[in-house]
Amino acid sequence: MTSRGKHGIEVLYDPSLNKSTAFTEAEKQALGLVGLVPDVTETEDLQLQRVMMQLGHKNTDLERYIYLINLLDHNETLFYRTVMSDPARFLPIVYDPTIGEACQKFGHIYRQPRGMYLSITRRGKVEEVLKNWPQKDVRFICVTDGGRILGLGDLGANGAGIPIGKLQLYTACAGVPPQYLLPMYLDAGTNNEHYLHDPLYLGLRRTRPATSELYSFVDEFVEAVQEVFPKCCIHFEDWTGADAVHLLQRYRDKYCVYNDDVQGTAGITLAGMINATKIKGTKLKDEKYLFLGAGSAAIGLANLLCSALVAQGMSLKEAQSRVYMFDINGLLEASRTDLLDFQKPYAHKHAPTRDFVAAIESIKPTTIIGVSTVGGAFNQKVVEAMSKINQRPVILALSNPTEKAECTPEQAYTWSKGKAIYAAGVQFAPVHYNGQTFLPGQANNFYIFPAVGMAIFATQSKRVTDEMFIEAGQAVADQVPPELLKQGLLYPLQSNVLETEIQTAARVAKLVFDSGLSRVTRPDDMVAFIRKHVYKPEYRTEARAGVAA
């Protein structure tokens, strides 16, 4: 890594160059660091040991999150070395579920800026603002307007923590080099009265604009990205349900964009559904699905599921007939007049009902999927109703953070008397029930979007398609060995997430080449091609004048 003309204290202030106590004597001499760092040369292993010791002194995961973000702000390599050394331990700290609390308190725990903050007051000058970013070859922008953060609702500028965290997962889970990643918050205001009156709130103190005004602002942003960062893929994250669906429809055929809440959630849930059918000995087309929640996540998941069913030979109408939805106003059915355009394909002829258990008894789904953000919504009556009509009921409680989960694995296994096949949106510990040990999987998007991101990065794909997420979901599902499926685990172990995502990215990359979307030459060995692009959290060992190793 070159010092980019930086010398002395400037090197230490650049987290991508700083090695702290790991500079060699030659590097200290060449870069003017003598006397500016302790007169030692430590290994990364020793530095990691110090990080682990300091983390051990923290009492909460939020404190550990703050510490790790501070480390990222000062020494990027050591941060990623830490997180990638034990993903199962650190992913829940740098992302879900800790990120939820971090976002709620974002303005209070704020230390220094990371990413970009683009306000609607800059309309007409967006391209000019984007040019202020120092890295000129940005390949991914993860952008939110803070409208629907996790299951926490409108957090406004506090939602800036989400794109920051998401892009860390691109690197930690799939090895996308961090210098190509730009987190961004589009500030169009907030309707959250608490934050509007919080003196430490970091966003515009005004309510959100009309949809037409917001979309005009987003149009300018998307078009400016094409000019300033022509190889960039835009990752939309945590927008309100209608905006998430409509903005994806607005841009997906013209630009390289995707929405993780719509497509990434769908991909990882599809992986769980595939493995649930392996456990049951059925096929996707044999199943019937009932969603609790009918927002962007549910619609994206249903649409992707239907695309997968169509690929297996069903007509689109047949596929849609296997999917039912239930929201705050009850079952989506043909007589309802309050439905959004994208909900109508899942509103079938059925008697109106606001009773979820009654809907289960009438529809007889084999799988229920919770994307409601209502903690405890899958109560004992729900699980028992599912168990009565299914030998192996599939219960996917996907809302997060933890307190938003529709039920816990212990509840699902206990109330179903060990029959349930279960996964959640957050990680839970193994459950011991009736002499068996069940391994509840985490249906977390971090298995999917970083791998798809790596495939896009390596191939320089011109567009992002639903088929890429279907392939990613299938690839993730295929990497769970039979012995773990027997214990109910629907997803690969997190401890080996990098290798899982390399294999997934290779399969998605093959699809990109097969679809004619790549801007680079097709390689002979797809896995080796992906490995060649993977970032490794290691300091460079060579040193010479003008170089920060």
> Which residues participate in catalysis according to the annotation?
95, 166
The tokens of 143 are what? 């952008």
The answer to whether 359 and 381 are in contact (CB under 8 A) is no
CB atoms closer than 10 angstroms to residue 34: 12
Pairing type for strands 421-424 and 257-259 reads: unpaired
The tokens of 96 are what? 């879900």
Q: What is the total residue count of the chain?
A: 549
Bridge partners, 143 (sequence order): 184, 236
The tokens of 279 are what? 């456990």
Phi-psi region of 460 (alpha: psi -120 to 50; beta: other; left: phi over 0): left
Spatial separation of the C-alpha atoms in residues 244 and 72, rounded to whole Å = 30
Segment holding 301, helix H or strand E:
helix 296-311
The tokens of 327 are what? 């929201």
Bridge partners, 175 (sequence order): none
Segment holding 196, helix H or strand E:
helix 193-196
Q: How far apart are the first and last CA of the chain?
A: 6
Spatial separation of the C-alpha atoms in residues 314 and 119, rounded to whole Å = 46
Spatial separation of the C-alpha atoms in residues 244 and 141, rounded to whole Å = 16
Residue 427 Cα to chain centre, angstroms:
14
CB atoms closer than 10 angstroms to residue 124: 8
Spatial separation of the C-alpha atoms in residues 412 and 527, rounded to whole Å = 38
| Burial profile 134-171: b = 16 or more Cβ within 10 angstroms, e = fewer | eeeebbbbbbbbbbbbbbbebbbbbbbbbbbbbbbbbb
- Which amino acid is residue 205, in one-letter code? R
Residues contacting residue 139 through CB under 8 Å, at least 6 positions apart: 176, 180, 181, 229, 231, 232, 233, 456, 457
